[in-house]
Amino acid sequence: MMDPELLIQFYKRMFLIRRFEERSAEQYALGKIGGFCHLYIGEEAVAVGAIAALGEEDYVLSAYRDHGHCLAKGADPKKVMAELFGRATGLCKGKGGSMHLVDRARNFLGGYAIVGGHLPLAAGVAFALKYQSKDQVVLCFFGEGAVPTGICHESLNMAALWKLPIIFLCENNRYGMGTPVERASAIYNIVQVASAYDMPKDSFNGMDVIQVYEHVKAAVEMVRIKQVPIFLEAKTYRFMGHSMSDPAHGHYRTKKEVDEAKKLDPIPSLKQHLIRNNILTESQVQAIEKEVQGIVQEAVEFADASPEPPLGSLEEDLYV
**Residues 61, 134: Cα–Cα separation, whole Å:** 18
Percent of the chain, pLDDT > 90? 86
**Residue predicted with more confidence, 280 or 253:** 280
**Residues 27, 30: Cα–Cα separation, whole Å:** 5
Domains of the chain: 4-299 (3.40.50.970)
Closest CA to 163 of 119, 131, 116, 190: 131
Q: For residue 90, what pLDDT is reported?
A: 98
Is the pLDDT score of 111 beyond 80? yes
pLDDT-based confidence at residue 249 (cuts at 50, 70, 90): low
Q: What is the pTM of this model?
A: 0.95
**Residues 191, 234: Cα–Cα separation, whole Å:** 9
Burial grade of 173 (CB within 10 A; 0-12, 13-18, 19 or more): buried
**Residues 47, 67: Cα–Cα separation, whole Å:** 10
Q: For residue 1, what pLDDT is reported?
A: 75
Closest CA to 119 of 67, 154, 83, 91: 154
Q: For residue 109, what pLDDT is reported?
A: 97
Beta bridge partners of 233: 170, 203
Q: What average pLDDT score do residues 241-254 get?
A: 80
Is the pLDDT score of 3 beyond 90? yes
